Amino acid sequence: MKDENERAVQAAVDAELRLLDPGVRMSPDRVLELLDPEFNEIGASGRRWDAETILAVTSGGSVSPESPVEVSAMSGTVLAPGVVHLTYLSDQQGRRAWRSSVWRLTETGWRMYFHQGTPAA
């Protein structure tokens, strides 16, 4: 069971990091491959997002390859079979936020179901 849980957490971590990659974020198709159809987010700004509104931002040119997101303190826990909760600290050009994501395993792979960002000092 431990190996299975470790593989699930690693798969979610890998998917999270892909979603943070500027090259992936600029491609609506690649972003949609990683977002659950029921995806929703509460951003660090306090704004609520769904897949459609996230795509409008990420594919609208606001993602810069020159300012990648730096990630630290990444950890994950299996909440139930096929459900992983990740937490980490993000830093993008001095804008730091604690991040929390819930990933679930679907027929097409691991997809982000929920995400929340909370500004950090």
- Average pLDDT over the chain, rounded to an integer: 91
Report all structural domains of the chain as residue ranges with CATH numbers, in order of start. 2-119 (3.10.450.50)
Determine the average pLDDT of the residues in 73-97.
96
Determine the average pLDDT of the residues in 109-118.
97
- Name residue 58's amino acid: T
Task: Give pLDDT tens digits for 42-70.
Answer: 998 899 999 999 888 777 655 555 678 89
Which pTM was predicted? 0.89
Determine the average pLDDT of the residues in 69-89.
97
The predicted pLDDT at position 62 comes to 55
**DSSP secondary structure of 41-80:** EE-TTS-EEEHHHHHHHHTTT---TTSPPEEEEEEEEEEE
